[in-house]
Chain A
Amino acid sequence: MNLSPSVRQRLLSALALLSFFVMWELICLAGGISDLILPRPSQIAVVLWEKMPLLWPHTVQTLKTTLAGFALGVLIGIVIGVAIGSSRLAYDVAYPLLVGFSSIPKVAVVPIFVVWFGAGTVPAILTSMVISIFPVVVNVATGLASTEPELEDVLKVLGASRRDVLWNVSLPAPCPICSRRSRLPSRWLSWARCWRKPWPPIVGSAT
């Protein structure tokens, strides 16, 4: 069969995913494992389908709060990141603080939010925000602080303003998928993907 490497890789990925569920199903069946201990994927699918009217509104609610928190986190994260990354001094001064904050397990902050704001939408949004804010701050600040000096010279010679450098180089640069061999054609898609993940260097153990 003549398939291009990328198509073959995607097919194999799908196959691996599928065989995982098939194995799970088979092991449960063969071992006679009780539903209470580990339900089979097929049973889970049935329940999901039957209870959908009940589950759906909550799923939507969760999605909304998560997205709202994520959007807030990215927004505030970019602002703080730009502030910290715009000068070497600010970056060096703020770095230990960032490491400290980002090493706090985010789950530990949730009870505090609940005490402050009660149970409900607000603490959910805040939790999602707190999870997404640090990777964004760190990546933006690092991207700004570590723009290649020669590239910066090229842009300065062209008469680029700080904002030009920010939009064209510093903001896209923190995205690791951007800088590696991106398989995604769209820059925005890859952007969204990387901002969501807590990337190293200093946020590796955060979540």
Chain B
Amino acid sequence: MSEPSFIELSDVSLRYGTGTVALARTSLSIDAGDFVALVGPSGCGKSTILKLVAGLLQPTAGGVIVRGREQGSPSVGGERLRLGIAFQNPTMLPWLTIRENVMIPLKIVPPFRASYRAKRHGEFAERAEALLAQVGLKGFGDKRPWQLSGGMLQRASLCRALIHDPQLLLLDEPFGALDQFTREELWAIMQSLWIDRRPTVLLVTHDLREAAYLANRICVMSSRPGRILETREVPFGRPRTIEASYAPEMAALVQALRMRIAEARSQEEGADTQELAA
């Protein structure tokens, strides 16, 4: 008997209230501890898949099963899946310090929540500081969000997504708004955090090099309504270096992905002209 995957999307469709079909019969399965990237033309429903997995959206048809349970269904007994999420916008609370911002999940997620009051100045604060140091923000815990640059806030946002040791980490273009150097630095940090903790990661990105550098598997999506066209294994060993992301093998993979997406886009244009003609 084959073990069910950690995340299983089977024939999932989603139609928004406005009538837009974001996803049409998409299937995807992700194993525990895997690092999967979703790439595709803009507006193809990458973020929609992420939100379905997070339980923020409910599919119109099909099922989203996460760890053997229908996502979004009320948790019956049993412990809830620990999730972490980070977006392109770091959304820190401006009246809290960076450390307090990073500690927000501990305030909300069981079992940490019960002992938050007792441990927020002790164990939990140390935990946050250790994580901040790991992403290069040692000594910035007492600063306020507006005192930090965009890249630093994004690091803090990663810490906030990881502080409660989530089993599943969802990343929606978390490095999208950063400059090239900061972005590459954060890729390296993200990789070492993943190697350390091995959460299951679903990364949505439009940066193909990012996908190739970080992920074990890359799913290429078609234009709206989104479907998964192709899944590619990324065969390179870990840890990968930034230099390796410029090596010919990686470049060839990125080029292949690029061609696939360009194809998907031109098909969309083709469909549009057909619609016009009809």
Tell me if B254 counts as interface (CB < 8 A to partner A).
Answer: no
CB interface residues, B 47-66, toward A, < 8 Å = 51, 54-56
Contact B83 A168 (CB under 8 A): no
Chain B residues with CB under 8 Å of A179's CB are 94-95
Tell me if A99 counts as interface (CB < 8 A to partner B).
Answer: no
Tell me if B170 counts as interface (CB < 8 A to partner A).
Answer: yes
Known contacts A159-B80, A168-B104; A178/B54 CB under 8 A = no
A194 to chain B, nearest CB (A): 11
A120 to chain B, nearest CB (A): 40
Tell me if A58 counts as interface (CB < 8 A to partner B).
Answer: no
Contact A157 B55 (CB under 8 A): yes
Known contacts A157-B56, A159-B80, A187-B95; A150/B108 CB under 8 A = no
Tell me if B91 counts as interface (CB < 8 A to partner A).
Answer: yes
Tell me if A182 counts as interface (CB < 8 A to partner B).
Answer: yes
Chain B residues with CB under 8 Å of A26's CB are none
Contact B170 A157 (CB under 8 A): yes
The total of chain B residues at the interface (CB under 8 A) is 26
Chain B residues with CB under 8 Å of A190's CB are 95
Contact A148 B146 (CB under 8 A): no
A181 to B94, CA, bound (A): 8
Chain B residues with CB under 8 Å of A30's CB are none
The residue on B at minimum CB distance from A165 is: B108
Residues 43-86 of chain A: 1 if any B CB is under 8 Å from the residue's CB, otherwise 0?
Answer: 00000000000000000000000000000000000000000000
B86, B95, B108, B146: the one contacting A175 at CB < 8 Å is: B95
Contact A148 B91 (CB under 8 A): yes
Interface residues on A, range: 20 to 34
Known contacts A153-B85, A153-B87, A156-B56; A182/B95 CB under 8 A = yes
Chain A residues with CB under 8 Å of B146's CB are 181
Contact B93 A169 (CB under 8 A): yes
A182 to B146, CA, bound (A): 10
Tell me if A155 counts as interface (CB < 8 A to partner B).
Answer: yes
Contact B93 A150 (CB under 8 A): no
Contact A172 B93 (CB under 8 A): yes
Known contacts A150-B89, A164-B108; A158/B83 CB under 8 A = yes
Contact A159 B109 (CB under 8 A): yes
A156 to B56, CA, bound (A): 8
The residue on B at minimum CB distance from A161 is: B108
A172 to B95, CA, bound (A): 8
A204 to B57, CA, bound (A): 39
Given A150-B87, A182-B95, 14 more contacts at CB 8 Å? A148-B89, A150-B89, A153-B85, A154-B87, A154-B91, A156-B56, A157-B83, A158-B84, A159-B80, A159-B108, A175-B95, A178-B95, A179-B94, A181-B146
15 of the cross-chain contacts (CB-CB < 8 Å) are A150-B91, A153-B51, A153-B85, A154-B87, A156-B55, A157-B170, A159-B110, A160-B108, A164-B107, A168-B93, A173-B93, A179-B94, A179-B95, A181-B146, A182-B95
